[in-house]
Amino acid sequence: MDYEIENGECVIALRGRIDADNAAKTEEEIQAILTGCADSGRAAGKVILDVAEVDYISSAGLRAMLRLKKRFPVTDVVNASPEVYEILDMTGFTDLFRVEKAYRRISVDGCEVIGEGYNGKVYRYGGDIVVKTYKNADALAEIKHEREVARLALILGVPTAISYDVVRVGDSYGSVFELLNARSFSKILAEEPEKMDFCVKEYVDVLKKIHSIKVPEGKLPHIKEKELASIRKIVNTLPDGLGEKLVKMVEEIPDTDRMVHGDCHTKNILMAGDEALLIDMDTLSVGHPIFELVHMYNAYVGYSEYDPEIVREFQGYSAEVAHEFWRRSLAAYLGTDDENVINSVEEKVRCVSYAKLLSWSERHSDPGNTKDVKTRALWRARLIELLGHVDSLLFDVECGEAADPSVLKVEAAVENLEKVLDFINAKLDAAGCSERTKMQIDLAAEEIFVNIASYAYAPGKGDATVRFELAENNSEATLSFTDGGRPFNPLAAAEPDVTLPVEEREVGGLGIFLTGKLMDDVFYEYRGGKNILTMKKKL
């Protein structure tokens, strides 16, 4: 048998059959190798049995392995064929040893790249098979992690694919998936730009889906911790305390248990038939959606801001298409066409985006490369300019609302009352509500919305969210109003004395009093920094 020892690891290559006829001799030879290594001053701290060329192993061979394990507790088995692995697994040896299967080798030379992320590329490997290759040569741990989080995501409702095999590709590994007729959104946008609307809708629907999913505690890492660690690396490169200001703003971003993908760009979303699938799941985390938007901005704008050809090389379409897709997706995600709102959120996103880019460039840029130096200078200038006037990274995102037909989100302004009533009446008409009941609900809704518009954010501005739900058989309507203004419970106020003559009555209070009389139930709660007033009415 052959062996080699390096860095304290002795790799011993076994061959043929290991059975009752030769197990004892094989054990003696292994022992002689290890004794010889020790005598020469190169004692093995770890023994690795390479069984790539072992056809069969009997119980005698297993006993020899067990004795070896007792003498050398750190003993691994690698390159086990399916047949040998099955024997080791059935006899419980996979619990005693770290056993690595042998993986078939494939080549992706000439295969179409249909997806790409930070850690690897996804190739079409014939008809309905795709292979994700990894940049890390020792990617088995990554593959195991990605398979685990992909299974978790699938169980929680994320449309994704699960790898069913692992292969060797060059010096690294690949995960094999089955995806029928899969095309990336990058390819669709590059070949059929007229489908921009379709791609935006499907893309945002996927984002809303994953961001609405609550992840059980401890199942996924928190993305904010990772981003803060990255940003802290460039704090001292910014002037006048701006780095500390940025870190403080990021620290103030609330922690959530909602899922984020962490690398959700158009190469990582595939259309498989009529279903949009999210791939490259190794970055899956939990946290605030601003961190998702940060990675999106960098994929479409940030990385290629100095050199627009970068996005063409990576995504396959122009910088103009990338920027338009980003802006339209952001607007759809926020559920608004208000440019002031979109620009405000984008500025917050860009603060973190440029900090991430600067941290990344510290590790990857070449100080002797003029292009790298100018790119870094551009990102730094952009960040400094933004930090001069952005004082908070917080913005209101109610995951799932934009795609939820039971929800309307508008600016809390009296001029939007008609829009609110139209939204409510459309639901009531569809439920066959009587005109009398509809009038009562409209009156109550008007009182609540005007109250929010007049006082919740004064003298500033903010949004109000209206949610309308129907009970089974349209028997009852539930209408809730949510705002992020100052905490205020309108139900806590004393009821007005309606028996007093006009000249003795206090001004105000009648609206809430009237609402209580018109509705069957009205209640208030302050939760998650929001005022939530809910009322119910039997139809």
We report the CATH number of the domain holding residue 30 as 3.30.750.24
Q: What is the mean pLDDT of residues 119-147?
A: 81
- Which positions ≥6 away from 6 have C-beta within 8 Å? none
Domain count, the chain: 4
Regarding whether 491 and 417 lie in a shared domain, the answer is: yes
- Identify whether 26 is part of a domain: yes
**Taking 60 as the threshold, does the pLDDT of residue 128 lie above it?**
yes
Regarding whether 192 and 320 lie in a shared domain, the answer is: yes
Rounded distance, CA 457 to CA 28, Å? 83
Regarding whether 334 and 190 lie in a shared domain, the answer is: yes
Regarding whether 114 and 83 lie in a shared domain, the answer is: no
Helix or strand or coil: residue 255? Answer: coil
Residue 185: closest CA among 321, 350, 357: 321
Regarding whether 115 and 45 lie in a shared domain, the answer is: no
Picking from 82, 102, 122, the residue at the C-terminal end of a domain is: 102
**Taking 90 as the threshold, does the pLDDT of residue 260 lie above it?**
yes
| CATH code for the domain of 530 | 3.30.565.10
Contact 482, 404 (CB under 8 A): no
For residue 398, what pLDDT band results from cuts at 50, 70 and 90? low
For residue 404, what pLDDT band results from cuts at 50, 70 and 90? low
Contact 375, 306 (CB under 8 A): yes
Regarding whether 245 and 349 lie in a shared domain, the answer is: yes
- Identify whether 206 is part of a domain: yes
Tokens of 48: 């690795």
- Identify whether 415 is part of a domain: yes
Regarding whether 357 and 258 lie in a shared domain, the answer is: yes
Q: Which helix (H) or strand (E) holds 271?
A: strand 269-272
Tokens of 177: 């998936």
- In terms of C-beta distances under 8 Å and separation of at least 24 residues, what long-range contacts does 528-531 make, across chains too? 529/484, 530/482, 530/483, 530/484, 531/452, 531/456, 531/482, 531/483, 531/484, 531/485, 531/487, 531/488, 531/489
- Identify whether 246 is part of a domain: yes
The pLDDT, as a whole number, for residue 493 is 67
CA-angle at 72, arms to 22 and 166, nearest 5°:
80
Start-to-end CA distance of the chain, whole Å, equals: 84
Rounded distance, CA 427 to CA 440, Å? 14
The pLDDT, as a whole number, for residue 237 is 92
The pLDDT, as a whole number, for residue 323 is 97
List the 165-169 sheet strands across, edge first. Answer: 105-106, 165-169, 172-178, 129-134, 120-124, 113-116
Picking from 144, 178, 212, the residue at the C-terminal end of a domain is: 178
Regarding whether 313 and 412 lie in a shared domain, the answer is: no
Rounded distance, CA 117 to CA 279, Å? 9
- Identify whether 393 is part of a domain: no
Regarding whether 114 and 78 lie in a shared domain, the answer is: no
Contact 477, 536 (CB under 8 A): yes
- In terms of C-beta distances under 8 Å and separation of at least 24 residues, what long-range contacts does 527-533 make, across chains too? 529/484, 530/482, 530/483, 530/484, 531/452, 531/456, 531/482, 531/483, 531/484, 531/485, 531/487, 531/488, 531/489, 532/480, 532/481, 532/482, 533/448, 533/480, 533/481, 533/490, 533/491
List the 521-527 sheet strands across, edge first. Answer: 407-411, 463-470, 476-483, 530-538, 521-527
- Identify whether 452 is part of a domain: yes
Rounded distance, CA 325 to CA 327, Å? 6
Contact 463, 411 (CB under 8 A): yes
Tokens of 270: 């595939």
Helix or strand or coil: residue 321? Answer: helix
Contact 496, 509 (CB under 8 A): yes
Specify the amino acid at residue 152: L
Rounded distance, CA 146 to CA 465, Å? 37
- Identify whether 392 is part of a domain: no
- Identify whether 73 is part of a domain: yes
Tokens of 288: 């605030």
Regarding whether 312 and 266 lie in a shared domain, the answer is: yes
Q: What is the mean pLDDT of residues 467-475?
A: 87
Regarding whether 225 and 130 lie in a shared domain, the answer is: no
Q: What is the mean pLDDT of residues 124-131?
A: 81
The pLDDT, as a whole number, for residue 245 is 94
Q: Which helix (H) or strand (E) holds 9?
A: strand 9-18
Q: What is the mean pLDDT of residues 140-152?
A: 83
The pLDDT, as a whole number, for residue 510 is 52
**Taking 70 as the threshold, does the pLDDT of residue 27 lie above it?**
yes
Regarding whether 116 and 245 lie in a shared domain, the answer is: no
Rounded distance, CA 496 to CA 514, Å? 10
Counting residues of the chain whose pLDDT is more than 90, the rounded percentage is 40
**Range of the structural domain that residue 477 is part of:** 407-538
Strands (DSSP E) contained in 317-386 are none
Instruction: Please count the CA atoms within 13 angstroms of the CA of 82 that sit on its side-chain side.
Output: 4
The pLDDT, as a whole number, for residue 401 is 40
Picking from 178, 199, 228, the residue at the C-terminal end of a domain is: 178
| CATH code for the domain of 139 | 3.30.200.20
Specify the amino acid at residue 519: M
pLDDT in tens, 176-216: 887 656 788 999 999 999 999 999 999 998 998 898 888 88
